[in-house]
Amino acid sequence: MIGKVKAHTNIALVKYWGKKDSGLIIPYTDSLSLTLDEFYTTTAVEFSDDLEHDEFKIDGNPVNEKNFVKLTNFMSHIRDLSGVTQYASVSSKNHVPISAGLASSASAFAALAAAGAKAAGLDLTRQELSRVARRGSGSATRSIFGGLVEWHRGYDDVSSFAEPIQEKLDFGLEMIAILLDTNIKKVSSRSGMQSVVATSPYYASWIDVVQNDMGLMKEAIKNKDINRIGKIAELNAMRMHALNMSAEPSFTYFNSETLKTIELIHDLRNQGINCYYTLDAGPNVKVIYDRKNRDRILKALQIEFKRDQLVVAHPGPGIEYIDC
Ligand code: DP6
């Protein structure tokens, strides 16, 4: 049986940044994200007697040794769950700039978890699939679901899973991704967060910050208060990036364009255009706003950026099975 699935990426409004258990990927904190429509991965999986090892192709190219080990271990978890003993042929197509802080690993492992489980004949709930996806990449836990999604940190494999808060949004939350640099990032999120947990003297405060932000963010969502959502998300992101600067050795994902873009968003706000920003493990900035302000924001951004650097991203769906 072939399993084929499309999964979308997500951007965290309250960030996950640190693992308590790096094998199972159990995070120190809860997190909350918006799944986006524009960036996604489509993955097909088929187990076969003819293979002597797993085979992975991403955008038509075989994967490197490091990714092979990660991916084949992930497939072995699906084999353990299902009792399937064959190796798999996996083919994936990304519609996300890889490793540029647009969370390609989120859509990649969400699609692989769901396609792999289907190909192995497993009948898992979406909550169970979120736990499988989690073992590939933390942010993938949330990409099983659409819209606004919460990942409960939990304390073991069973209790650490994602759950939708609102799968189909009934208010105008939207994002614009400003693509400043789509090259591979220098510090992966995996090693960045590991270094922060090990060396930042502020990590304990971060755990408290996130707990507080989760409550505030859920309340703002309930009230459909986009300005409040943006404010909380912006401060949460900046506090995460402050952790990176406080690590030893200190590091940052920002470049000079990032800082200029942040300033530009502050300027827009000073002009009375409500918009906020968030940043992940890369220099690209995502603007958070109410869709009713989209045209004004786009017009202002187009003075500074080329049109193809600006991607308007709408709330997107959870995993979708594709018939083969
Ligand atoms: C900044 O999920 O890419 O985007 O679990 O090591 O694969 P691994 O990390 P990953 O980290 C995402 C970090 C983030 C914040 C977030 O998505 O919550």
Quickly count: other Cβ atoms within 10 Å of residue 10's Cβ. Answer: 33
Residue 131: pLDDT over 90: yes
240: alpha, beta or left? (left if phi > 0; alpha if psi -120 to 50): alpha
Chain mean pLDDT for the chain: 96
Percent of residues, the chain, with pLDDT higher than 90: 93
Residue 103 and residue 96: Cα distance in Å, rounded? Answer: 8
Residue 183: pLDDT over 80: no
Residue 106 and residue 144: Cα distance in Å, rounded? Answer: 9
Closest atom of ligand 1 relative to the 15 alpha carbon? 18
Q: What is the CATH number of domain 173-313?
A: 3.30.70.890
Residue 213 CB–ligand 1 contact under 6 Å: no
Using the structure block, give the residue that is written with the tokens 């995996």: 190
Quickly count: other Cβ atoms within 10 Å of residue 290's Cβ. Answer: 19
Give me the residue spans of the domains in the chain: 2-170, 173-313
Ligand 1: which residue has its CA nearest to atom 7?
137
Output the pLDDT for position 99: 47
Per-residue model confidence as pLDDT tens digits over 234-282: 999 999 999 999 999 999 999 999 999 999 999 999 999 999 999 999 9
Ligand 1: which residue has its CA nearest to atom 6?
190
Residue 295: pLDDT over 50: yes
Quickly count: other Cβ atoms within 10 Å of residue 223's Cβ. Answer: 11
Residue 95 CB–ligand 1 contact under 6 Å: no
Band (pLDDT 50/70/90 cuts) for residue 24 is very high
Band (pLDDT 50/70/90 cuts) for residue 96 is confident
Q: Taking a C-beta distance cutoff of 8 angstroms, is the pair 28, 18 a contact? A: yes
Can you count the helices (H) and strands (E) in the chain? 9, 14
Residue 117 CB–ligand 1 contact under 6 Å: no
Mean pLDDT to the nearest integer, 166-195? 92
Mean pLDDT to the nearest integer, 151-176? 98
Q: Best substitution site from 21, 36, 139 to test ligand 1's pocket, by max atoms within 8 Å of Cβ?
A: 139
Output the pLDDT for position 287: 98
Mean pLDDT to the nearest integer, 195-218? 98
Using the structure block, give the residue that is written with the tokens 């609102």: 166
- pTM of the predicted protein model: 0.97
Residue 189 CB–ligand 1 contact under 6 Å: yes
Mean pLDDT to the nearest integer, 2-15? 97
Query: What is the 15 CA–ligand 1 centroid distance (Å)?
Result: 8
SS3 55: strand
Query: What is the 122 CA–ligand 1 centroid distance (Å)?
Result: 26
Output the pLDDT for position 100: 47
Amino acid at 183: N
Query: What is the 139 CA–ligand 1 centroid distance (Å)?
Result: 5
1/49: higher pLDDT: 49
Residue 185: pLDDT over 80: no
Q: Which of 277, 275, 200 is nearest to 28 (CA)?
A: 200
Does the domain formed by 2-170 have CATH 2.60.40.10?
Answer: no
Query: What is the 103 CA–ligand 1 centroid distance (Å)?
Result: 7
Residue 258 CB–ligand 1 contact under 6 Å: no
Mean pLDDT to the nearest integer, 122-127? 98
Query: What is the 265 CA–ligand 1 centroid distance (Å)?
Result: 24
Per-residue model confidence as pLDDT tens digits over 50-92: 999 999 999 999 999 999 999 999 999 999 999 999 999 999 9
Band (pLDDT 50/70/90 cuts) for residue 181 is confident
Residue 110 and residue 133: Cα distance in Å, rounded? Answer: 5
Q: Taking a C-beta distance cutoff of 8 angstroms, is the pair 220, 232 a contact? A: yes
Residue 102: pLDDT over 90: no
Mean pLDDT to the nearest integer, 214-223? 98
Residue 230: pLDDT over 70: yes
Main-chain dihedrals φ then ψ at residue 271, nearest 5 degrees: -85, 5
Percent of residues, the chain, with pLDDT higher than 70: 97
